[in-house]
Amino acid sequence: MKTRKSTTKPIRVGVIGVGRGQSFAAGATDLVGMKLVALCDTWEEKLAQAGKRYNVATYTDYGRFLEHDMDAVVLANYFHEHAPFAIRALEAGKHVMSETSCNATLAEGVALCRAVEKSGKIYMLAENYPYTKFNLEMRRVYRSGEIGRVTYAEAEYNHPIEPGAINRLSPGTGHWRNWLPSTYYCTHALAPLVTITDTLPVSVNGLSIAVPEMTDALPRVNDPGSVILCRMDNGAVFRLFGLWLPGHSNWYRVHGVHGAMEITRGPGYFGPGQVRVWHDHWDRTAGQPAERVYIPDWPEHGALADQAGHGGGDFWTNFAFANAIRTGQPPFLDVYRGVAMSSVGILAWKSALQDGAPFAVPDFRKEADRRRYENDHWSPFPVHATLAPDQPPASIRGRIKPPRAAVQNARKIWKAQGYKGR
């Protein structure tokens, strides 16, 4: 994963979104061969503050932002907006890295794959959890062949947030967090397993977990948790758990035909940062220990990764994106893997609304599969309400109306932080 030495100018990057996007903005430095040149957001006060901090051009209009002289765009805008913004950037001749999710509908996934192919530009899913120290180490162990082909794996990304804080993160009754189905935010769990094992999902089953006493205290119309089962293209089964039920959990385990490995559990969001590898006594090579538990080292650039957020992942996403642009080689988390994993969340929600019925995952590399879904605009988000008839609810409880007291309390918080919308 080393970049080529080059005398070319830094990759000029613009970032949309000055909330989460500031992590990407801060990381777009000469250390990864990037230079931040522009920011875009509709929240003018925060945009002005960020523009002053980084001394770059600022835009509230995305079209004008794309006219700025730059090579690449990083999308850290709202969860359900990424595909349309990515397509516009690709059409404008920019490379694109997109935060968390590639597409909010299957039709968007199809359109995005086609746009990447037409543009010839680099597209990358900015999924940072595959790049934690322990997940990079499990990838190394798996690729060494020590535990053999994966048969079963588990991943948990469960991130509860204090009610006041979650309201501050979700200003407005229409904010995507208040509508997000419990299965949609699945890439923090799935992407590390896909990266470790180089497999892809081919079908999903999903079950949502409704907890009225949690959601009724907030201006939300969704469920707080889910379990997803993915059948992978090598026959393995992956189990994914999240999203904001009580009890932080960021944990991964992989079983192979000759052993297993996991990160060890413990206090803190990332636990002690240890990797555990173990083998049955009858299936060990000569001199191989039955079990070992250790804290892994970074493969390279450890000092830089240790300074970055999300367990070092925020450094590695910028690094991998820059490397892909310079070499012209698609990153591992390319558009096809990104859209497939993002679509798992959508298809798992379809499954959850049918109490766990299986749904096939299209192969977005194949135009024949893409044609079947190019007009599938199924979505619970209000902005997609007119795109298709009978759009789904965001909860297995049906269409929820938040209690008036919860909305009034949230509006006080939103007003205090300068939010002027509904």
Q: What are the sequence ranges of the domains in the chain?
A: 11-128, 130-311+334-384
Give me Rg for the CA atoms of the chain: 21
Report the predicted TM-score, pTM, of the whole model to 2 decimal places.
0.94
Residues 40 and 15: beta-carbon distance below 8 Å? yes
The letter for the amino acid at 362 is: P
Could you read off the pLDDT of 249-285 as tens digits, one per residue?
999 999 999 999 999 998 877 888 899 999 999 999 8
Backbone phi, psi, residue 243, to 5°: -135, -45
Encode 397-411: b = buried (16+ Cβ within 10 Å), e = exposed: eeebebeeebeebbb
Residues 225 and 207: beta-carbon distance below 8 Å? no
Those residues with Cβ within 8 angstroms of residue 298's Cβ, 6 or more apart along the chain or in another chain: 133, 136, 305, 306, 312
pLDDT above 50: residue 6: no
Could you read off the pLDDT of 87-96 as tens digits, one per residue?
999 999 999 9
Could you read off the pLDDT of 50-64 as tens digits, one per residue?
999 999 999 999 999
CATH of domain 11-128: 3.40.50.720
* Mean pLDDT confidence for 358-367: 97
- Rounded Cα–Cα distance for residues 19 and 28 (Å): 15
- Topology of domain 130-311+334-384, CATH: Dihydrodipicolinate Reductase; domain 2 (3.30.360)
pLDDT above 60: residue 73: yes
* Mean pLDDT confidence for 356-377: 98
